[in-house]
Amino acid sequence: MKWVSADGAVAAVASLGGCPRVVVSGNHATPGAMVDALDAGMPQFRLWALNAQSGMPDRDGIELETCFVGPGMRKSRHLRYVPSRLSLVPVLFRERLRPDAVVVHVSRVVEGKVSLGAEVNVLPAAIEQCRAAGGLLIGQVNRFMPYTYGDGEYSVDDFDYLVEADQPLMDLPRPPIDDVSGAIGERVAQLVTDGATLQLGIGAVPDASLPGMAQRRQLKIWSEMVSDGVLTLREDGALDVDEPVVASFVFGSQQLYDWVDENPAVRLLRTETTNDPAHISTRPLMVSVNAALQVDLFGQANASRIGNRIYSGFGGQSDFVVGALHSPGGKALIAMRSWHPKANVSTIVPLVDEPVTSFQHSAVVTEHGVAPIWGCSQQEQALNLIDHAAHPDVRDELYEEAVALSLVSPISS
């Protein structure tokens, strides 16, 4: 291990030659100082990051790669999106997308170790494959990055180069909860029982479900990510204190980062563990709550694309839907608004035109009700979605489409 400047680390990456693939921490853990130095010091390279946030370099010479598109790459003409379930990204690193260098954003040094902090996720797999190929491991050491326990702890001697660059993490304020989000959240909370294990995403709907869930007891967390909502559950005594909070990354406010710092009650594990449907299925009463852009009358969800444009990707949705369905007493829920306010269209559609992200959920929850899916005939599924989840303004039209799709029989006069 050698302490160097950012420019010194970039020179080492450049010495690899060609157009190296550089995997960096994503989400709110992007090593900004090193990414900026790579942009300034290398004419061409591949930059791979999950859910890249705003501020990523975007120019000729940089090929942006990801399996989950964030706002920092979403509209780039340099984007190379590789579809993959998140649990399979480590396989891609081994078989198709082996990194030449991995640049991670790490905590302060604690007893000869650093932690990947807020972002463990697929990074251990990237590090292992990079090492196996003789590539470089570089850490941007930041005193603002929390030290988290689990699969993201590394000896400083594991690194080729360490670069000291302090920068506050992005602070994500909680989204406002409007009446529609509140109604959806209340319905989701009613489906959660004492002792359940939760997987919750980020946004107004998951946050809106927390007041109801806060009345439960002995809740457990096994999730791809955790945000500030976990603090609400902890403060209200809803969490099982004998079970650690398990996730693969954290995404939220400074208060959340302060809470996870050196907290033995939180374990950040690699994606192969958190997102493995076999592991998820062993959790008691697993409740997976995910969002979608559209759900059709066959119960298929599109959470990835808008028109011909990639919006995000599979992420962990398909992993957790399958895992929750195999959990004894588990539920896989799609929670979303019945009407898209910006596009001014129904989110319940006759048939999705885009690639399907997931299907065969337990239920679809909107502000208008809960539409059971699992265990229902296709006719029942369609009618449940129309009668209990769709916006009232489009129910007649959806019924006509269901008849045309031979999902239901026309009403006899």
Confidence (pLDDT) at 177: 86
Given the residues 65, 119, 153, 224, select the one marked as catalytic. 224
Which uninterrupted H or E stretch holds 345? Answer: strand 345-346
Tokens in use for 77?
């003409």
Average pLDDT (102-131) is 98
Average pLDDT (44-56) is 97
Provide the β-strand partners of residue 110. 113
The sign of the dihedral angle between the CA atoms of 328, 239, 85, 205 is positive
- Which amino acid would we find at residue 264? P
Respond yes or no: is residue 119 known to be catalytic. Answer: no
Q: Which of 180, 217, 181, 179 is nearest to 198 (CA)?
A: 217
The sign of the dihedral angle between the CA atoms of 178, 180, 186, 192 is negative
Q: Is the pLDDT of residue 217 over 80?
A: yes
* All domains of the chain in start order, with CATH: 2-164 (3.40.1080.10), 179-404 (3.40.1080.20)
Beta strands in 15-89 (DSSP E): 21-24, 45-48, 62-66, 79-81
Give the integer Cα–Cα distance in Å for 341 and 269. Answer: 36
Q: Is the pLDDT of residue 386 over 80?
A: yes
Residue 266 near residue 148, CB atoms below 8 Å: yes
Confidence (pLDDT) at 65: 98
The contacts of residue 308 (CB under 8 Å, 6+ apart) are none
Q: Is the pLDDT of residue 412 over 60?
A: no
Confidence (pLDDT) at 225: 94
Summarised one tens digit per residue, pLDDT across range 282-294 is 998 999 999 999 9
Summarised one tens digit per residue, pLDDT across range 1-27 is 999 999 999 999 999 999 999 999 999
